Amino acid sequence: MSRRGQRYKEPAEPTFITVRVESLVFGGAGLARGADGRVVFVAFAAPGELVEAQVEREYPDYIQAVTTRVIEPSPDRVDPRCPLFGECGGCQLQHMSYPAQLAAKETVVREQLRRIGKLDDSVVRPIVGAAEPWGYRNHLRFSTGKKYGDVGYIGRKGYGLLKVDSCPIADPWVSDLLPKLQGHGAGLHQVQVRYSAETGTGLINPAIPDVPFETGQKAYVEELAGRRFDVSASAFFQVNHAQAEQMVRLVGEALPERGDLLIDGFAGVGTFAVIFSDRFERVLAIEESNSAAKDSERNLAQAPNVEMLVGKVEDILPDLEVRPDAIILDPPRPGCAPPVMRAILEFQPSTVVYVSCNPATLARDLRILVNGGYQLDSVTPLDMFPQTGHIECVSRLTFIGLPEAPEGPDEDAVEPDEIIVDEPGLE
């Protein structure tokens, strides 16, 4: 069974199909149609290409395959920079030029808004690309080999260790460190490396014996929008500093210049709450992770008007007795739980800024807010993770109220918890 409950089968013998790729879908696979009409998701293909692909899994209504030969290449196809591309599961788009990656990602966001959210995609602004699409990732987790202590990544199929001496999307500090870690991973489950070029601090966790540098640090210091943040090993912080600065810019443009109360949902170590605290009389930050909330105790010292509430947003937000002027949402991939959506529609803050790492659940949640009286002003895609299929978006909504309800029941009305996301390949 798949993680979504669909049964699949793997071909007993190698099976190859020839397909024309129509577009990319969220996650980076190419979308094509098989001879039997089923959708085919082809890894490492580009839009417009005719490719030969090997079938890896067959589901009742779609097929997963991987490109084995490019018969008619796209003009946007380039040689991957990493020799492990195709084996490693970290990158999905190194075979496409960077402008083509950006265009494909913007198209994915537009398609998700139209198909899942039934929203007008004219609100989508041009994607904010990265000035440097390589050497950006400052936080990585490496798996280890039990026998020789190798350090690297798990293969694309979810098993097998790929020894990595350099990673082209990793911060140069991390890549320089990798050869020095080789041979020292035995007995460790993973090695986590985090680094901030802005503060010159980092961490290597857990403690590793017999290496000529410090390891086992519990935290390090990040800097964003001129503010400094203590970040523990288990707490979340954006991994692409330059694009995180762009995200802060977009969120700042979407928020009102002044207000009484801001709620920062999914607040992490207090990043947005601290950065925008000077615009509001009071800020309430909500965070479930105990480690992130503990970090925020130190970080909030620079913003005395911010209060941290520890717990799940869906538990805390509905019980608040104060109406916010604005709310920032930055949920994980599943998006916002139904109680969060219902609480927002009850409070009716004038501005909602929704930061999302999943265009599918973003489209679902935006539809709920629009149904509840919000106007979707803009959706700006942001390429936080070049060379991969991941996409971030910053959306702004303004409360305008519901039109006068017609007499009789609304048969088309949909409750928040009734809206679902389609199967993964179609997201």
Give the active site residues. Answer: 357
DSSP run (H or E) holding 247: helix 241-254
Strand partners, 20: 50
Distance CA 93, CA 261 (A): 41
CA max distance for the chain: 76
Long-range contacts of 410-413 (CB under 8 A, 24+ apart): 413/371
Token pair, residue 216, equals 């086992």
Residue 348 DSSP SS3? coil
Q: Which of 185, 190, 219 is nearest to 202 (CA)?
A: 219
Cβ within 8 Å of residue 367, ≥6 positions away: 116, 117, 118, 119, 419
Q: Which amino acid is at 264?
A: D
Neighbouring C-beta atoms of residue 412, cutoff 10 Å: 6
Distance CA 327, CA 350 (A): 9
Distance CA 15, CA 36 (A): 15
Helix axes 98-115, 359-371, angle to 10 degrees: 40
Q: Where are the beta strands (DSSP E) in 73-226?
A: 139-144, 151-154, 161-163, 190-196, 201-205, 219-224
Q: Is 9 exposed, middle or buried (0-12, 13-18, 19+ CB in 10 A)?
A: exposed
